Amino acid sequence: MHPISFIKMHGLGNDFVVLDTRGREAVTTPALAKALGDRNRGVGFDQLAEIRDCDHADYALEFWNTDGSRAGACGNASRCVASLMLDGRDRVTFATERGLLHAERAGDLIRVNMGAPQLEWAEVPLVREMDTAHLPIDGDPMAVGMGNPHCIFFVKDAEAVDLTGLGPKMEHHPLFPQRTNVEFASVLGPDHLRMRVWERGAGVTLACGSGTCATAVAAHLRGLTGRSVTVDVDGGRLQIDWQDDGVWMTGPVARVFDGTLSREWLEAV
């Protein structure tokens, strides 16, 4: 086992380990993701993103959660990786389990098109046919897919929600066969939301890109906001624009440090 280089990044406190394994075999396994995600014995992250070669896009991205499970989409990680790959280019395209996504610079920020929201029960997915706009769950949440499932509750005060109590219960709700991300949002104005999130396979995070997109879509479909909204999350602020070509998310990214996983540590995983 050879040492593996990595980059630590974050988007509004939603933090990631980025591995670039283009030109060789992929290295991430469930065991490696769990060990690397350990904030005491590894590096720590909300998600891991591995950059891979791709013959139908500029590159491919594979996402992993801290519990060793795969994540189909990760908006803030996509923006972080895009910031690394945009040198000398106006736009990059990457292939994910979600499909082909496009990212570009917006001044000092990075924006990514997360694609069209998935609003049919089988797309989210749910266990059976039902109205995704009003799930048969206390609190009247809405289900939206953004390459991964989301369950969005609109509440009077997102700050007052017991996120660590309600989040894991909803993540494993039987209506969601693949588990779900859980968002709690309150409306601050016709173009302004406050959102907190429990991420599937990761727990409480300071931001969730796909969750922010799903929440903005749900708010518009409920008639609470327009199609362009500012969303305040625990780690900062994202701008979401639901356009004809997909849901665009814009926000800051940061490259924190570069490092190397030692041979000794890797052999112990």
- Residues 38-68: pLDDT tens digits? 999 999 999 999 999 999 999 999 999 999 9
Mean pLDDT value of segment 157-170? 97
4-104+253-268, CATH topology level = Diaminopimelate Epimerase; Chain A, domain 1 (3.10.310)
- pLDDT tier, 76 (very low <50, low <70, confident <90, very high otherwise): very high
Token pair recorded at residue 103: 């990212």
Q: From 85, 38, 99, select the one nearest 65 (Cα to Cα).
A: 38
User: With left for phi above 0 and alpha for psi between -120 and 50, is residue 17 left, alpha or beta?
Assistant: beta
The per-residue pLDDT for range 106-148, each reduced to its tens digit, is 999 999 999 999 999 999 999 999 999 999 999 999 999 999 9
pLDDT at 75: 93
Answer yes or no: 80 catalytic.
no
Classify each residue of 126-145 as buried b or exposed e, where b means 16 or more C-beta atoms within 10 Å of its C-beta. Answer: beeeeebeebeeeeebbbbb
Annotated catalytic residue within 54, 80, 151, 208 = 208
Q: Are 169 and 163 in contact (CB under 8 A)?
A: no
Bridge partners of 110? 105, 251
Classify each residue of 46-77 as buried b or exposed e, where b means 16 or more C-beta atoms within 10 Å of its C-beta. Answer: bbbbbbbebeebbbbbbbbbbebbebbbbbbb
Q: Are 135 and 183 in contact (CB under 8 A)?
A: no
Task: Indicate the CATH number of 142-244 among 1.10.287.1060, 3.60.21.10, 3.10.310.10, 3.40.640.10.
Answer: 3.10.310.10
Annotated catalytic residue within 74, 80, 151, 213 = 74
Map residue 37 onto helix, strand or coil: helix
Look up the pTM and report it: 0.94
User: Could you give the dihedral angle defined by the CA atoms of residues 127, 130, 133 and 135, in that order, rounded to the nearest 10 degrees?
Assistant: -60
pLDDT at 19: 98
Answer yes or no: 151 catalytic.
no
Residue 18 has pLDDT above 80, yes or no: yes
Residue 1 has pLDDT above 80, yes or no: no
Residue 73 has pLDDT above 90, yes or no: no
- CA dist 164 and 75 (Å) reads 22
- pLDDT tier, 87 (very low <50, low <70, confident <90, very high otherwise): confident
Residues of the chain with CATH 3.10.310.10: 4-104+253-268, 142-244
- pLDDT tier, 176 (very low <50, low <70, confident <90, very high otherwise): very high
Mean pLDDT value of segment 196-202? 96
